[in-house]
Amino acid sequence: MYNYCLRRTTFETDVVGSICHNKNASVIRTGIPFLNHVLSQWSTYSDLCLKLYCVGDVIIDYHHTFEDIGIVLGMLLNNMVIKNNLFRYSHVIIPMDGTLVRCCVDLSGRPGLYWTNSTRYNLFNPILELTYTLFNSLVWNSNISIHIDVIKFDSFHHVAEAIFKAFGTCLFRSINAVQNINSTKGCPIISWK
């Protein structure tokens, strides 16, 4: 079992986070109930115990809190991916009532967020803008490539929940997959000094 901890402090936020692969209950205190809710779902679906505490400048708005939590989660995940033999590819489609979201993850070491909206609705409302902000920070700090496609839409809340659940499920599959597919790149050797 692994356990990675990190603290990141700026003038805007103070974030302390840890992830470990065990059955302990997650403790998430971000100061934003909706963010606590979706991170708890991510933790459940990934089967990763998340301890996360954040004090942010939520008096101004929620942007810095979402962004900096994305940075911390990304750094924690990057450490986890580097130090463990995780299956590189995973994907899932999550239905939630009338919402349908596809998530594909590549633990390639090359970051990127590819977010598409296949519905006829403009999906950038405050909830999804903040969700995008968190995932954009996460990918650039984790070196993970994530494709998120909103296929069908019934509510902004369901889209955000489905995205977090889908990403969690992809991580669960990568962590628990049997490594029986050889990479054409071989096994990269990374040395830390």
Q: State the average pLDDT over residues 53-75.
A: 94
What confidence score (pLDDT) does residue 131 get?
A: 95
Q: Is 21 exposed, middle or buried (0-12, 13-18, 19+ CB in 10 A)?
A: middle
- Give the separation between CA 6 and CA 31, rounded to whole angstroms: 18
What confidence score (pLDDT) does residue 178 get?
A: 60
Q: State the average pLDDT over residues 129-158.
A: 95
Q: What is the mean pLDDT of the chain?
A: 89
pTM for the full predicted model = 0.89
Q: State the average pLDDT over residues 13-33.
A: 91
Answer yes or no: are the C-beta atoms of 42 and 28 closer than 8 Å.
no
**Tens of pLDDT along 161-174?**
999 999 999 999 99
Helix (H) or strand (E) holding 102: strand 99-106
Q: Is 42 exposed, middle or buried (0-12, 13-18, 19+ CB in 10 A)?
A: buried
> CA triplet 135, 141, 145: central angle to 5 degrees?
60
What confidence score (pLDDT) does residue 191 get?
A: 47
Our measurement of the distance from residue 60's CA atom to the centroid of its chain's CA atoms, rounded to an integer in Å, reads 24
Enumerate the domain spans of the chain.
Answer: 3-176
1 pLDDT higher than 60: no
182 pLDDT higher than 60: no
Question: In CATH, which superfamily holds the domain spanning 3-176?
Answer: Imidazole glycerol phosphate dehydratase; domain 1 (3.30.230.40)
Joined together, the tokens standing for residue 52 give 């996360």
- Give the separation between CA 184 and CA 187, rounded to whole angstroms: 9
Q: Is 138 exposed, middle or buried (0-12, 13-18, 19+ CB in 10 A)?
A: buried
Helices (H) and strands (E) in the chain, counts: 4, 8
What confidence score (pLDDT) does residue 179 get?
A: 57
